[in-house]
Amino acid sequence: MPQIMTMTALLLAALLAAGQTQPVEKAPLAEQVFTNVRVLRGIPVDEFMGTMGFFSASLGMSCEDCHGASDTTWENYARDVSPKKATARRMIQMMTSINQTTFGGRTVVTCYTCHRGSAKPKVTPSLALLYGATMPDETDDVVAAAKDGPSVDQILDKYIQAIGGPQRVAGLTSFVGKGSSAGYGPEGTRPIEIFAKAPNQRTMILHTLDGDSTTAFDGRMAWSAVPHKPVPVLALAGSELDGVRLDAELMFPARVKDTLATWRVGQAEEIDDKPVQVLQGSRPGGVLATFYFDRESGLLTRLVRYASSRVGRLPTQIDYSDYRDVNGIKVPFHLKITWLDGQEDVTLTDVQLNVPVDPVKFGKPAAPAPPK
């Protein structure tokens, strides 16, 4: 009898706990938001939009080149106003077929493999490029492991020591930063706010003339609310969600070793003529991220993280500089964030650590609306 009562109590507790767990909001699929989607079906909207950026970067073309420039509404984008859209669909099918039949389904051949920023693929080697004084600075996404050099632990321990030491870094519980950002466009400088709470909550709000552009992660779910997008508040999924989660986790470097499951040390490189130590980590089926640490100071200089898509990896690069001491912890006051669809050059003017942050900051944001 006591065993039956114990089992009943455990089952009741489990049911109550399950009832208190909020359901995860599902990200809408491309064909649920856009009409006339024929090839890129079954993928989340955030991946679909990232794929459009991949096409643009690979071919050196803008959205209007394929979708038409007379009307930039989302309804117009769905229409077949250009034969280039039909060509793009055939190219996706050709690329998918090559990868499936030749590379076992791995994404080895992409739009960028042949186009390299040009609408027409190059067919003849360039002698000027071959014998020029400088070669394009392009590295492989997956870093080859170095045969010698420092270990993963040595690099990350030096980083922790450089930003304040294990004890101070472990005591970091929250982050509030305010400043301004200059985007890649005509609007100019806009106010920006960044909120973070340990171990993995983060929200960034860019106050634009057309309303707030917000990316929020509550530790489990993430949303993107950006003006003039087809979905005003979009739930993120897949590798885009993994990338936002990584950004949040890295706000609290004490657990940096646990953020990724597999680490490897790459060959030393240079950024702006300064030697950097390369370290790459990954998660099974998730994000791939490459870290560049200043060899002398040990501080993080650059992070490049990749989201997966059906047509190739979508890179996001964050450059860190202007480290300043805040309560014994070195904080980068300058961040340059670059991705396929844009760029933000962030300059922080005020940073507070270990201050209370309202949990509402990390919840689902409201739809963007122009300020009154």
254: tokens are 């004490």
Domain-embedded: residue 19 = no
Which residues lie below 8 Å from residue 118, measured CB to CB, with a gap of 6+? 59, 60
Average pLDDT, rounded, for the chain: 88
Q: Which domain holds residue 264?
A: 152-362
The pLDDT of residue 227: 93
Residues 217 and 324 in one domain: yes
Reply yes or no on whether the pLDDT at 11 is more than 90.
no
Give the pLDDT band of residue 2 (cuts 50, 70, 90).
very low
The answer to whether residues 301 and 354 belong to one domain is yes
pTM of the model: 0.87
The whole-angstrom distance between residue 185's C-alpha and the CA centroid of its chain comes to 20
Q: What is the per-residue pLDDT for 25?
A: 84
Q: Are residues 57 and 122 in the same domain?
A: yes
Region 321-329: mean pLDDT is 98
- Of 88, 108, 126, which residue is a domain's last? 126
Which pLDDT score, from 0 to 100, does residue 153 have?
97
pLDDT value at residue 19: 46
E strands, the chain, where?
A: 174-183, 189-197, 201-208, 211-217, 222-225, 233-235, 262-265, 269-271, 274-282, 288-294, 300-307, 314-326, 329-339, 342-353
Same domain, 79 and 195: no
The answer to whether residue 296 is domain-embedded is yes
Cβ of 243: how many Cβ atoms within 10 Å? 25
- Tell me what the mean pLDDT of segment 78-107 comes to: 87
Which tokens hold the place of 270? 């240079």
Amino acid at 188: G
Both 184 and 110 in a single domain? no
Question: Token digits for 300?
Answer: 């993080």
90 in any annotated domain: yes
Distance from the Cα of residue 361 to its chain's centroid: 20
Measured in Å, how far apart are the chain's first and last C-alpha atoms? 67
Q: Are residues 253 and 308 in the same domain?
A: yes
In a domain, 15, yes or no: no
Give the pLDDT band (50/70/90) at residue 322: very high
Q: Are residues 167 and 244 in the same domain?
A: yes
- Choice among 9-23, 31-45, 156-170 with the minimum mean pLDDT: 9-23
Q: Is the pLDDT of residue 158 over 90?
A: yes
**The pLDDT of residue 183 is above 90:** no
- Same domain flag for 173 and 300: yes
Q: Using 50, 70 and 90 to split pLDDT, how confident is the model at 5?
A: very low
Which are the contacts of 4, defined by CB distance < 8 A and separation ≥ 6? Answer: none
My answer on whether 342 and 207 are in the same domain is: yes
Q: Is residue 214 part of a domain?
A: yes
CA 172 to CA 197: how far, in whole Å?
A: 9
In a domain, 11, yes or no: no
Mean pLDDT of 321-347: 96
C-alpha 19/C-alpha 47 separation (Å) is 31
Do 207 and 255 lie in one domain? The reply is yes
What is the per-residue pLDDT across 23-67, written as a single tens digit (0 to 9) for each?
678 889 989 888 888 899 999 988 888 888 888 888 888 877 887
Nearest 5°: the CA angle 55, 57, 59 is 65
Task: Look up residue 82 and give its DSSP letter.
Answer: S
105-128: pLDDT as tens digits = 988 999 998 998 888 888 888 777
Domain annotation covers residue 20: no
Residue 14 placed within a domain? no
168-199 exposure pattern, b = at least 16 Cβ within 10 A, e = fewer = bbeebebbbbebbbebeeeeeebebbbbbbbe
Counting residues of the chain whose pLDDT is more than 70, the rounded percentage is 87
- Helix boundaries (H) for 60-82: 63-67, 74-78
Q: Are residues 109 and 209 in the same domain?
A: no
Query: What would the mean pLDDT of 203-214 be, rounded to a whole number?
Result: 95
pLDDT at 283: 85
Residues 57-89 have pLDDT tens digits of 888 888 778 876 655 566 666 666 678 888 889
Here the tokens at position 187 are 């609007």
The predicted pLDDT at position 15 comes to: 43
Residues 198 and 93 in one domain: no
pLDDT at residue number 130: 76
CATH of the domain at 181: 2.50.20.10
- 126, 142, 167: which is the final residue of a domain? 126
74 by Cβ neighbours in 10 Å (0-12 / 13-18 / 19+) ranks as middle
Backbone phi, psi, residue 232, to 5°? -55, -40
CATH number at residue 93: 1.10.468.10
Res 236 pLDDT > 70: yes
Write down how long the chain is: 372
Query: Burial code of 259-285, b = ≥16 C-beta within 10 A, e = fewer?
Result: bbeebebbeebeeeeeebbbbbbbbee
pLDDT of residue 69: 61
pLDDT at residue 186 tops 80? no
pLDDT band at 366 (very low <50, low <70, confident <90, very high): very high
Which residue did the predictor score with more confidence, 120 or 3? 120
Nearest CA to 336 out of 190, 189, 181 is that of: 181
State the pLDDT at residue 4. 45
Burial degree of 36 (CB within 10 A; 0-12, 13-18, 19+): exposed
Lowest mean pLDDT: which of 74-78, 131-135, 148-152, 342-346?
74-78
Residue 239 to residue 66: CA distance in whole angstroms: 26
pLDDT for 127 equals: 77
Q: In total, how many domains does the chain have?
A: 2
The CA distance from 283 to 209, in Å, is 38
